[in-house]
């Protein structure tokens, strides 16, 4: 070993006592079945995830689960500016709300599980330093003493001469310092960062493979990028990614497309160390079409639907959100879901080739549509339980009504449900009240009746009083309906639609118009689920009471 380099490396990293081989021994390959993927979600501790990062976390999770692999949570806190207090708990909570529970990694602000930790980068400093020291010893990294002022100057010169920006070639001043000069500067107490001595040539072309985008051609990296920052001696993302994903045996690095430009740097780092390279999946951005019809990135700031809290508050079932995430993750998922509506989504396997390279469009109305279909397939009891949970948090009054009327409420939710073609009217838990409020007396006040064709006081009174006096027997749907028809004949309405269509002028209206009067009088609404079921649930006394209330309201 070159003694001078050793002296330099020891000066730069006086506390390093281990070698890369020591760490490799500490973190052996996991004992997983062939083809099992090891993936990670690696956010900064910002306290929350938004829909874009939730999607990537879910893709990471799913990619691992599809193969009985490992999904772990690594916290990347080397950029202290992006850290907030209790930033990990918030992320864990958001993930847990969507059943995304890591197999390994951080499980709290300071606690973790798994054999490959620490899973938080600020606690891995000694490891990064060991890897960086190895490069210095091999003459592949060096201390750089350039001040930010000097770096600015270099940049200005590059801009002026229309040259490529960056620290490379002849612009990489400290690259040409002799080892002795570097040693002297450190001894003098000069601040330094650690830079890679890139072996690359920008004029060489390399081909890198991305699992989503296929082969991509890049110029080879020749930037002497910073590996260890001077201020806090923490690594940059580039270096931390290499060290962590190597020691944690990540098989698939799934990350945002903003990292594509750095792909050649990462490839080069893996080459230099001779480590097995993970597969890379650069995920497209989550986009939205805004009011002006332009495609733009979904924005945490501008778009309420970008926050996961929005779905919680709206009461969109997390299963529906997850179904939607899969539809934007993989273009073939929707078709799969249509063909397998009752199959657990764990049976669907994520296909990197079916991911969108150009970015996926986030369409909240489509998400609500999925939610609507999802809710239509749930039993009335499930709806009741989940709605109550939602209401306890967001609508206490409704929660109390639900608790006091459990059996009745479940029957209400069961109208036109639990059959092969269930009614699809609930968009989310927060939307259910809009569809059922009139069934609960507590809400049945301050009413506006939506009468349609038959809307005169005289006719409405006629229909309601005739009904009240003769037709309260609800024991059988056919008998009941025949009686309504009988009432139509008595009152001058067509009981048969065909007859009505032939000679509408002979009638005041038809059986549908009469039913509408009954429906509106009972519920105020024109459009409700099955009238007979509603009447049956309300029962004779309430029907009387509501018809009387309506009659009084006609004045």
Query: Which residues contribute to the site for ligand GLU (CB under 6 A)?
Result: 42-44, 76, 241, 253, 255-256
Distance, in Å, from the CA atom of 385 to the CA atom of 478, rounded to the nearest integer, reads 33
Measured in whole angstroms, how far is the alpha carbon of residue 313 from the centre of its chain?
A: 15
Residue with Cβ nearer ligand GLU (118 or 509): 118
Beta carbon of residue 43, minimum distance to ligand GLU (angstroms, whole number): 5
Residue with Cβ nearer ligand GLU (219 or 256): 256
Parallel/antiparallel/unpaired status of strands 286-289 and 360-361: parallel
Beta carbon of residue 79, minimum distance to ligand GLU (angstroms, whole number): 8
Residue with Cβ nearer ligand GLU (82 or 389): 82
Beta carbon of residue 391, minimum distance to ligand GLU (angstroms, whole number): 36
Beta carbon of residue 94, minimum distance to ligand GLU (angstroms, whole number): 15
Parallel/antiparallel/unpaired status of strands 226-228 and 193-196: antiparallel
Residue with Cβ nearer ligand GLU (245 or 459): 245
Residues 6+ apart with CB under 8 A from 128: 227, 228, 234, 235, 239, 240, 243
Beta carbon of residue 245, minimum distance to ligand GLU (angstroms, whole number): 8
| Angle separating helix axes 125-137 and 3-12, nearest 10 degrees | 160
Distance, in Å, from the CA atom of 81 to the CA atom of 261, rounded to the nearest integer, reads 23
Would you call 25 helix, strand, or coil by DSSP?
helix
How far apart, in Å, do the first and last CA atoms of the chain sit?
103
Residue with Cβ nearer ligand GLU (243 or 253): 253
Beta carbon of residue 255, minimum distance to ligand GLU (angstroms, whole number): 4
Beta carbon of residue 246, minimum distance to ligand GLU (angstroms, whole number): 13
| Angle separating helix axes 51-65 and 87-97, nearest 10 degrees | 60
Beta carbon of residue 317, minimum distance to ligand GLU (angstroms, whole number): 28
Residue with Cβ nearer ligand GLU (308 or 517): 308
Burial environment of residue 203 by CB neighbours within 10 A (0 to 12, 13 to 18, 19 or more): exposed
Residue with Cβ nearer ligand GLU (266 or 435): 266
Burial environment of residue 222 by CB neighbours within 10 A (0 to 12, 13 to 18, 19 or more): buried
SS (H, E, C) 488-535: HHHHCCECCHHHHHHCHHHCCCEHHHHHHHHHHHHHCCCCCCCHHHHH
Beta carbon of residue 45, minimum distance to ligand GLU (angstroms, whole number): 10
Residue with Cβ nearer ligand GLU (245 or 425): 245
Beta carbon of residue 116, minimum distance to ligand GLU (angstroms, whole number): 16
Nearest to 528 by CA among 461, 476, 450: 450
Distance, in Å, from the CA atom of 500 to the CA atom of 511, rounded to the nearest integer, reads 9
Residue with Cβ nearer ligand GLU (37 or 255): 255
Residue with Cβ nearer ligand GLU (39 or 523): 39
Conformation bin of residue 47: beta by default, left when phi > 0, alpha when psi is -120 to 50: left
Beta carbon of residue 3, minimum distance to ligand GLU (angstroms, whole number): 37
Residue with Cβ nearer ligand GLU (84 or 157): 84
Residue with Cβ nearer ligand GLU (267 or 425): 267
Beta carbon of residue 215, minimum distance to ligand GLU (angstroms, whole number): 21
Nearest to 337 by CA among 379, 373, 288: 373
CA 341 vs CA 292, 323, 345, 377: distances in Å? 35, 11, 9, 9
Nearest to 45 by CA among 75, 71, 79: 75
H or E segment at 361? Answer: strand 360-361
Beta carbon of residue 93, minimum distance to ligand GLU (angstroms, whole number): 18
Distance, in Å, from the CA atom of 272 to the CA atom of 221, rounded to the nearest integer, reads 12
Distance, in Å, from the CA atom of 471 to the CA atom of 532, rounded to the nearest integer, reads 12
Residue with Cβ nearer ligand GLU (77 or 305): 77
DSSP per residue over 272-330, as a string? HHTPPPPEEEEEPPEEEE-TTS-EEE--TTT-GGGBHHHHHHHT--HHHHHHHHHHHH-
Residue with Cβ nearer ligand GLU (241 or 322): 241
Residues 6+ apart with CB under 8 A from 14: none
Beta carbon of residue 303, minimum distance to ligand GLU (angstroms, whole number): 19
H or E segment at 61? Answer: helix 51-65
* Residue 214: strand pairing partners: 210
Distance, in Å, from the CA atom of 469 to the CA atom of 526, rounded to the nearest integer, reads 23
């Amino acid at each position: 070993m070159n003694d001078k380099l050793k002296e330099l490396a020891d000066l730069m990293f006086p506390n390093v006592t281990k070698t890369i081989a020591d760490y490799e021994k500490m973190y052996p390959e996991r004992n997983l079945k062939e083809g099992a993927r090891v993936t990670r979600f690696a956010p900064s501790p910002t306290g929350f995830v938004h829909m874009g990062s939730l999607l990537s976390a879910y893709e990471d999770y799913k990619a691992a689960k599809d193969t009985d692999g490992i999904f772990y949570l690594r916290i990347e806190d080397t950029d202290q500016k992006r850290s907030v207090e209790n930033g990990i708990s918030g992320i864990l909570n958001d993930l847990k709300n969507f059943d995304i529970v890591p197999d390994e990694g951080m499980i709290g602000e300071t606690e973790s599980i798994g054999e490959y930790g620490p899973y938080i980068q600020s606690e891995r400093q000694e490891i990064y330093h060991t890897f960086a020291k190895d490069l210095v010893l091999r003459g592949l990294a060096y201390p750089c003493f350039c001040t930010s002022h000097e770096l600015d100057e270099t940049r200005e010169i590059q801009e002026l001469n229309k040259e490529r920006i960056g620290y490379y070639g002849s612009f990489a001043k400290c690259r040409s310092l002799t080892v002795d000069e570097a040693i002297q500067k450190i001894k003098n107490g000069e601040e330094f960062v650690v830079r890679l001595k890139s072996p690359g040539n920008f004029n060489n072309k390399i081909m890198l493979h991305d699992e989503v985008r296929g082969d991509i051609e890049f110029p080879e990296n020749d930037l002497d990028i910073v590996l260890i920052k001077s201020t806090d001696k923490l690594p940059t993302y580039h270096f931390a990614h290499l060290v962590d994903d190597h020691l944690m045996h990540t098989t698939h690095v799934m990350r945002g497309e903003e990292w594509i430009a750095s792909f050649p740097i990462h490839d080069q780092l893996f080459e230099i160390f001779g480590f097995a390279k993970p597969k890379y999946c650069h995920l497209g951005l989550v986009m939205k079409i805004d009011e002006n019809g332009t495609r733009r990135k979904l924005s945490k700031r501008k778009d309420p639907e970008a926050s996961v809290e929005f779905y919680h508050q709206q009461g969109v079932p997390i299963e529906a959100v997850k179904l939607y995430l899969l539809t934007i993750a993989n273009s073939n998922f929707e078709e799969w879901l249509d063909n397998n509506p009752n199959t657990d989504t764990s049976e669907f396997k994520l296909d990197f080739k079916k991911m969108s390279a150009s970015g996926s469009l986030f369409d909240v109305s489509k998400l609500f549509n999925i939610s609507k279909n999802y809710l239509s397939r749930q039993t009335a009891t499930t709806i009741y339980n989940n709605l109550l949970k939602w209401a306890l948090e967001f609508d206490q009054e409704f929660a109390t009504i639900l608790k006091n009327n459990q059996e009745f409420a479940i029957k209400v939710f069961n109208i036109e449900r639990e059959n092969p073609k269930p009614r699809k009217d609930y968009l989310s838990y927060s939307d259910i009240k809009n569809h059922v409020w009139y069934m609960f007396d507590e809400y049945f006040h301050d009413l506006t009746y939506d009468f349609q064709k038959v809307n005169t006081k005289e006719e409405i009174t006629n229909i309601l009083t005739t009904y009240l006096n003769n037709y309260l027997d609800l024991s059988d749907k056919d008998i009941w309906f025949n009686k309504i028809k009988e009432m139509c004949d008595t009152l001058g309405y067509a009981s048969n639609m065909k007859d009505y269509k032939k000679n509408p002028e002979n009638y005041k209206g038809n059986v549908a118009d009469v039913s509408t009067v009954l429906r509106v009088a009972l519920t105020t609404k024109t459009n409700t689920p099955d009238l007979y079921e509603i009447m049956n649930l309300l029962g004779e006394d309430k029907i009387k009471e509501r018809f009387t209330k309506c009659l009084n309201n006609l004045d």
